[in-house]
A and B are shown apart, each in its own frame.
Chain A
Amino acid sequence: MRFGLVSGDVPLISNLDVWRNIALVPQYHGGLSEKKARELVQTLLSRFNIERIAALRNPSLTEEERFLVMLLRATMVRDAIVVIDRPFKLVPYLKDLSFVYDNLKKIEELYSLCYILEYTHRLNRPEVGNGRAG
């Protein structure tokens, strides 16, 4: 069983552009060419309307953008379960998980299962603690 992890303990690589961070997994494991990897990442970023950040690096991103890039990177692991670890720690000003759910829906064909792990006291909607998203 493979996991695609979205977590503060698995940060983006700071000396790589956003698109290279996302493309790293398919390039390394799948042998995807530079050109195809770039096209793939541009398409994926456009789903969130954040194509403009493709050439930026980690420190230049907002918390929301960083979360989305980490989410896309996690979905690049083939046949993996996406695990989002403490989303409120990654994007602290979120009031609820609607931001996470809305964006998961935009890429729902890229993953089969997604678990969101969060402390229950932080949740306005406690049912997501053990639930399946997407």
Chain B
Amino acid sequence: MFNWVENLGKIIIYGTRSLKETFTFAFLIVAGLFRSQTYNSASYIVLLHQIYFTAIQVLPLFLTMAAVIGFLLTGIFLHNLKELGLAAHFGRVIMGFVVTELSPFLTVLLIALRSSSAINAEIATMKVNKELNTLETFNIDLISYLFVPRVVAGMVSVLLLSGLFAIVLLISGFLSSRLLFGMSLNEYGNTLLNSAKLTDIFILLIKCFIFGFFIILIPIYSGINATYELTSIPVAVLRGMVRIFIAIIVIEVLSLIARFA
């Protein structure tokens, strides 16, 4: 009994400490955004490289995924809604669920799998190789040079890719509804426009920024907490990825509460 209570206490203490440290680090990153030393050509290059690796390199896979999912989902939704006699709610389902919930969720999952793991391993490797020491030795602030540009790139990438995902998804959704159910472009467009809500778009924007912020911040934080041993790299990546998935679920739940509460 006492062991059980002790273990629960340890988990709560570890979780609370970890959460506190993550938010302290998040505060440092946000503060870094407002420091003049963040804005120099070296940091700018880091930002551009990160946007290229996160948002451009992934495009072929990403667009294919968006087209296939859009085609299938729209077809399945329209078919089921018609069978249930709820075809009038088609637009609301597409805009309210597929565009505002599914697009950012799938986008953030893909970026987390691809870029967050890479950034986590990169920062942990830099720590093990003492390359972070190099930057500090030359008086280069890690937050303004290495971390802030990556986090900003993550936020921009998630926003742009979510928007692109939604557009491709809607286009392939139109093809699916046209081919399978003979829906015209006018009818499809009107259905979606009538169902679009400004608050949904606002929540979508906020959610994209928060997703982008945390799925890059968390792997950076895990990476710098690696020790100087090579074996700490996989441990740091593993911890970082678990924390990212917890963060994604928490943000998703909070956004749902904000939308429907």
Whether B260 is near chain A, meaning CB under 8 Å from some CB there, is no
Whether A79 is near chain B, meaning CB under 8 Å from some CB there, is no
- What string of 1s and 0s marks CB contacts (under 8 Å) between A20-43 and chain B? 100111011101111001000000
Whether B40 is near chain A, meaning CB under 8 Å from some CB there, is yes
Whether A5 is near chain B, meaning CB under 8 Å from some CB there, is yes
CB contacts (< 8 Å) of B129 on chain A: these are: 11, 14
Whether B145 is near chain A, meaning CB under 8 Å from some CB there, is yes
By the criterion CB–CB under 8 Å, are B41 and A31 in contact?
Answer: yes
By the criterion CB–CB under 8 Å, are A34 and B45 in contact?
Answer: yes
Whether A113 is near chain B, meaning CB under 8 Å from some CB there, is no
* Secondary structure call for the B interface: helix
CB contacts (< 8 Å) of A100 on chain B: these are: none
By the criterion CB–CB under 8 Å, are A13 and B126 in contact?
Answer: yes
Whether A109 is near chain B, meaning CB under 8 Å from some CB there, is no
A9 and B132 CA atoms in complex are apart in Å by 11
Of A9, A15, A34, A77, which contacts B41 at CB under 8 A?
A34
Of B122, B133, B138, which contacts A25 at CB under 8 A?
B138
Whether A12 is near chain B, meaning CB under 8 Å from some CB there, is yes
By the criterion CB–CB under 8 Å, are A13 and B40 in contact?
Answer: no
CB contacts (< 8 Å) of B145 on chain A: these are: 28
CB contacts (< 8 Å) of B130 on chain A: these are: 9-11
Whether B21 is near chain A, meaning CB under 8 Å from some CB there, is no
By the criterion CB–CB under 8 Å, are A10 and B140 in contact?
Answer: no
B138-181 contacts to A, CB under 8 A, are 138-140, 145
The residue of chain A having its C-beta at the shortest distance from the C-beta of B45 within the complex is A34
By the criterion CB–CB under 8 Å, are A10 and B45 in contact?
Answer: no
A29 and B144 CA atoms in complex are apart in Å by 12
A32 and B42 CA atoms in complex are apart in Å by 9
Given contacts A5-B137, A13-B135, 20 further A-B contacts (CB under 8 A): A10-B133, A10-B134, A10-B138, A11-B129, A11-B131, A11-B134, A12-B134, A13-B126, A14-B131, A20-B45, A23-B42, A24-B138, A24-B140, A28-B40, A29-B140, A31-B41, A33-B41, A34-B41, A37-B41, A73-B138
Q: Could you tell me which A residues sit within 8 Å of B by CB distance? A: 5, 9-15, 20, 23-25, 27-29, 31-34, 37, 73, 77
**16 interchain pairs (CB within 8 A)?**
A9-B133, A10-B130, A10-B137, A12-B131, A13-B131, A13-B135, A14-B125, A14-B129, A15-B126, A23-B42, A24-B42, A27-B45, A31-B40, A31-B41, A32-B41, A33-B41
